[in-house]
Amino acid sequence: MMTFDNADELHKIKKWHANPQMVLRELTDDSRSLCRFGVKFGAHPEVTRSLLQLAKDLDIEVVGVSFHVGSGCFDASAFHDAVVTARKVFDEAAELGMHLEMLDLGGGYPGADCSTGITFAQIADVLRPALASMFPATRIIAEPGRYFVSNAYTLAVNVHARRVVEAKDQEAAKSFMYYINEGLYSSFNCLYFDHAHVSPKVLVKDGVYVHGQEVGNGETHACSIWGPTCDSMDVITRDGQLPELDVGDWLYFDAMGAYTVAAASTFNGFRRCHVIWTNTEAHRLLI
């Protein structure tokens, strides 16, 4: 099973595959999402009928329709609109004597612990009645990768260097630059490619485990946090507020997962982060 959204792809598949099963990817309105895919993928509604006709002429089986409203969608109605467009494609196929049996709802769904934007429940509230009325007997699938891994792990990083930035104004407070062993080319590539926002917290200070505790009487300083590579764009945050840290201290970042270690590289020779599996629910058996 493969997707297509243009005539060239159909001709290519016809040449190299004897009995393909094709899914027409529709172009959706992704203007309500942070990560938009329409610029790269999707057949405009004006050409879906002609593509279906071409597939029929080439004797290529089309089994369904797919869409992706984009990641970081902030308007659940975008999913409803995409389903409406998919219904149009199904109707066009029926008029051409073709039977479509599957609808792929795409991905980009927020995790269950989402604290900003729309929630998975809000999306489900929109999709459930739309699918019931427009696709009551159609096989429905989706690609909810982000939903499952948006909060897959906690990332612990070590401060291996620091710089004190003295204020030009004597009355202003000093600030700090901290350099850690993870950056944009590894676990924090989500900052660049996925519009993620992260919040550092202190894990170990002066060799003492301080998770969830107040550090340094609550006093904080302005700071920036940098990755380990030679790239000056390898920065995690420029406007952080943390207690004064020293080399050897540790920070941690909650709710890490989607588009982090999966896309990590070894740029500049730095290794990918080491994964330690834990089970924080005592009543569950380790697998």
Helix (H, G, I), strand (E, B) or coil at 137: coil
Instruction: Render 73-113 in DSSP notation, one character per residue.
Output: E--THHHHHHHHHHHHHHHHHHHTT----EEE--S-PPPTT
Per the annotation, the verdict on 230 as an active-site residue is yes
Alpha-carbon gap, residue 266 to 229, rounded angstroms: 10
Alpha-carbon gap, residue 213 to 3, rounded angstroms: 51
Q: What is the largest CA-CA distance in the chain?
A: 79
Alpha-carbon gap, residue 64 to 107, rounded angstroms: 16
Residues near 140 by beta carbon (within 8 Å), at least 6 away in sequence: 102, 103, 105, 131
Alpha-carbon gap, residue 277 to 245, rounded angstroms: 27
Alpha-carbon gap, residue 29 to 26, rounded angstroms: 10
From the candidates 73, 190, 223, 230, give the one annotated as an active-site residue: 230
Q: Let me know: does 141 contact 228? Beta carbons within 8 Å.
A: no
For the annotated catalytic residues, the residue numbers are 230
